[in-house]
């Protein structure tokens, strides 16, 4: 019997016990974090009898490929298919065309290329990756607006085509209420920018229509450059006429605004059925009426003149020929 043998299930005195199996260290949260979620799912499937490459089912077994969920790109509408990887993008202004490769980020100067704030410059103050939109602080007026990221171009807006003496660039979209932009013209060797009406008078053409501005009219400011855009798209009431085409207006907050010209304003069409309008252009100019029916598709309205109300005199007028009137019954 050797020195290291056992007797009766015990150890021989003076001999060392056999080595015990190694004890694994306790598992911590970092060990579970190192295992991907897919591994836990595969372990559960193997415990339920699933094998790689073997069909599942009771009667007609077949191999079923798992469904992979793919996230849609941000800003992609319902029903639109994403472009395949590597496909060239169409030539358009976008945030991905930064020559320096900076990309869209907070603090970047951008130009808005679509929407109601088109051709306006601002600074990005926030990004919404879930909706693909950006919060932009406009340079004119300081208003914060939310726009689609795909309608932004990094940098300043490109300069528009120069206008000649024959008129504006035909490629530019028409403006509401007629062409109110200034035209460059040379007088006595000096290049000056004057309104279109002055250009026609200088060239000997017949003058345009008479000024339509009058007291007690509710108008809207459409000049983005007036007082740094503070009153852009703001509605106000004409308080006093300084000249035939210059007035003083009062905002809804009670502020008086001076230095407004006819080219900076446009007519306002009231929404209420009981509101009155004043005819500012045409043969019925100066008469007060009430809108009976609106035709937004044709930019026209059926107006019933108040002094001819008993006779039922109704005339169709363009939106540019009428304006919201807050004064007395007649203003002749």
Grade residue 9 by pLDDT with cuts at 50, 70 and 90: low
- Contact call for residues 127 and 107 (beta carbons, < 8 A): no
CA count, 13 A, side-chain hemisphere, 205: 10
The domain locations on the chain are 95-154, 177-208, 217-267, 276-325
* Rg of the Cα atoms in the chain: 38
3-state helix, strand, coil in the chain (%, to 5): 15, 30, 55
Assigned CATH class of 276-325:
mainly beta
Query: What local confidence, expressed as pLDDT, does residue 245 receive?
Result: 86
* Mean pLDDT lowest among 34-43, 74-83, 215-224, 310-319: 74-83
Q: Which fold has domain 217-267?
A: SH3 type barrels. (2.30.30)
Grade residue 203 by pLDDT with cuts at 50, 70 and 90: low
Q: What are the structure tokens assigned to 60, written together? A: 């007609």
pLDDT digits (tens, 9 = 90+) for 113-161: 888 788 888 899 988 877 778 889 888 777 888 888 888 888 887 765 5
The three-state secondary structure class of 33 is helix
Grade residue 206 by pLDDT with cuts at 50, 70 and 90: low
Query: What local confidence, expressed as pLDDT, does residue 323 receive?
Result: 92
State the pTM of this model. 0.40
Q: What is the dotted CATH code of the domain comprising 95-154?
A: 2.30.30.30
- Do the first three CATH levels of 217-267 and 276-325 match, i.e. the same topology? yes
DSSP 70-125: -PPPTTPPTTPPPPPTTPPPPS---GGG-TT---S-TT-EEEE-SSTTTT-EEEEE
Query: What local confidence, expressed as pLDDT, does residue 89 receive?
Result: 54
- Contact call for residues 134 and 124 (beta carbons, < 8 A): yes
Q: Quick one: CA torsion of 137, 222, 118, 75, rounded to 10 degrees?
A: 70
Query: What local confidence, expressed as pLDDT, does residue 86 receive?
Result: 58
């Amino acid at each position: 019997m050797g020195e290291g043998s056992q007797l009766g299930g015990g150890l021989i005195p003076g001999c060392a016990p056999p080595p015990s199996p190694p004890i694994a260290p306790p598992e911590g949260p970092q060990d579970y974090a190192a295992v991907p979620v897919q591994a836990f799912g595969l372990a559960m499937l193997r415990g339920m009898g699933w094998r790689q490459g073997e069909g599942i089912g009771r009667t007609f077994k077949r191999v079923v490929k798992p469904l992979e969920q793919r996230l849609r790109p941000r800003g992609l509408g319902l029903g639109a298919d994403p472009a395949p990887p590597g496909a060239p993008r169409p030539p358009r202004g976008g945030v991905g065309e930064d020559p320096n490769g900076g990309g869209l980020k907070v603090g970047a100067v951008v130009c808005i290329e679509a929407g109601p704030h088109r051709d306006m410059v601002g600074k990005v103050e926030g990004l919404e990756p879930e909706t693909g939109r950006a919060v932009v602080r406009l340079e004119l007026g300081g208003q914060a607006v939310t726009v689609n990221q795909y309608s932004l171009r990094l940098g300043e807006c490109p300069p528009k085509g120069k206008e000649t003496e024959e008129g504006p660039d035909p490629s530019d979209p028409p403006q509401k209420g007629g062409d109110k932009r200034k035209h460059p013209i040379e007088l006595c060797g000096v290049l000056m920018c004057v309104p279109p009406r002055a250009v026609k008078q200088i060239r000997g053409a017949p003058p345009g229509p008479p000024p339509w501005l009058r007291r007690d009219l509710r108008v809207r400011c459409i000049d983005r450059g007036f007082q740094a855009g503070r009153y852009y798209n703001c509605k106000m009431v004409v308080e006093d006429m300084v000249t035939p085409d210059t007035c003083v207006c009062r905002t809804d907050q009670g502020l008086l605004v001076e230095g407004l010209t006819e080219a900076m304003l446009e007519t306002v069409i009231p929404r209420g059925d009981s509101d009155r309008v004043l005819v500012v252009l045409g043969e019925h100019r100066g008469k007060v009426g009430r809108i009976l029916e609106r035709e937004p598709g044709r930019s026209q309205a059926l107006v019933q003149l108040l002094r001819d109300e008993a006779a039922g005199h109704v005339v169709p007028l363009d939106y540019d020929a009428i304006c919201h009137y807050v004064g007395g019954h007649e203003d002749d």
